[in-house]
Amino acid sequence: MASPAVSAVKDASGEEIAAVEQLIERARNAMRQFAGADQARVDETVTAVAWSLYKPENARKLAQQAVADTGIGNVVDKIIKNQRKTFGTLRDLMRVRTVGVIEPDLGNGMVRYGKPVGVVAAITPSTNPAATPVNKTMMALKGANAIVIAPSPAGWSSTSATVELVRAALAKTGAPEDLVQILPQPVSRNMTRLLMEQADLIVATGSQNNVRAAYSSGTPAIGVGAGNVPVIIDSSADLADAAQKICASKTFDNSTSCSSENSLVILDDVYEGAIGALEAAGAWRCSTQEKALIADKLWVNGNLNRELIARDADVFAAGVGLDEAAGQARFFLVEESFDAASKFTDEKLSLVLTVYRARDFDHAVALVTDILKVQGRGHSCGIHTADASHPVRLAEEIDVVRVLVNQAHTFGNGGSFNNALNFTLSMGCGTWGGNSISENLNYRHFINITHLVNAVAEDRPSEEELFGAYFARYGKD
């Protein structure tokens, strides 16, 4: 748990340096006070934090504040997100051991002990200014760590209100409040970088600039990659079921999730049927002229227009100049032929879904591969199908961490009650996405493990057992 003697942040002010040093000192002091807490005590603390966000009036209040502060998403869905992610994560955390003996001797002479990683610097995005900080806090506290949250400046007020509730929950159980802290306002790039330098572990969610800064800080870091999920609808899919799931997923919280579908790849023989099912579920099929209006307004100087991303459908439609009928839809379909240079190939963080027509399944696999090469490699893809061989092929051929089958991506990718993924708001994308983890962020990333190793009966195979097949085929020369 060593802090660098000299900061690499050359232009930081004395006030910024002092503020971060004080946060780190208080965090370490809180950890010393919490040291020795057994699993029951740790679990009680995690549960208290979970209730501080899951509690209905708090979930609603923080959802309302998040939308008011950032203009991103919608209140109803943020309430669901605040509660569902918290509840699911708590379920996962209550089923595992993380302090003291976490795995006894199973006959191999080895006992595993869980220990804290130290002070965690948590970089959190404006898209989820309550849910993501609490999610990371629960995982950090499960390992008896302290955490300092560096929120997006746009979400600081919401995240600060969240942290106040969390600290009150800690005080209620007698745990040190300084186990959870937040960078003071105004959050600056310098302060965030100073925090990353002085922490023991960084967990960065949000912009890829933040993730790269975390990896270059000199502190062990876990970053997550960009989403840009392509989903196939193949010839055997239940089109109505697929459309309903895609609609529910795409429109949830106005498409703020990195797991939201950004492209559909529909096989030619069911293309019009699938489009019809999507329209019945609430989609608006954009004309060539409407597509041009969206292209002109959704991006400004090559960047997504913050006035249009994650907005309600009627607001988005009015903002790009679509007519009133389009504004009554729930989301918008833009049909494309694949072009790596087209902005519609990227993540759109809005209620716009790009649609590609595939000649056959081989072409669909190629399109998914091409889309992910533009953005989102490593993150995930999905398929709606009744053909069991098709998802297997995607898993074997596509460089992604997750392939979801007949699921709504937003609800399944970050953990669900009907799949085996850990609940999280931070999805690792492996080396394909420039990340150090290829799974959903979970409690295992917040503990160090000591291995107590005793001698057991020798397990030494013969040379023949190990080399026999090789010798038989190639000899010993």
DSSP state of 4: P
| Paired residues of 230 in beta bridges | 263
**Helices marked H in 94-188 — which ranges?**
131-142, 156-173
Taking CA 8 as the corner, what is the angle to CA 3 and CA 14, rounded to the nearest 5 degrees?
Answer: 80
444: CB partners within 8 A, 6+ apart:
none
Catalytic residue among 258, 286, 381, 429, which?
258
> Residue 173: left (phi > 0), alpha (psi -120 to 50), or beta?
alpha
For residues 292 and 335, give the distance between their C-alpha atoms in angstroms, rounded to a whole number: 11
Contacts of 90 (CB under 8 A, 6+ apart): 46, 47, 50, 54, 138
Bridge-partner residues for 110, per DSSP?
453
Residues in the chain: 477
Record the tokens describing residue 86, joined without a space.
């918290």
Round to whole Å and give the CA distance between 400 and 339.
21
Residue 429 falls in the annotated catalytic set: no
**Contact in structure between 223 and 214 (CB atoms under 8 Å):** yes
The residue type at 335:
E
Question: How far, in Å, CA of 331 to CA of 247, rounded?
Answer: 8
**Cβ(227)–Cβ(378) below 8 Å:** no
- The catalytic residues are 258
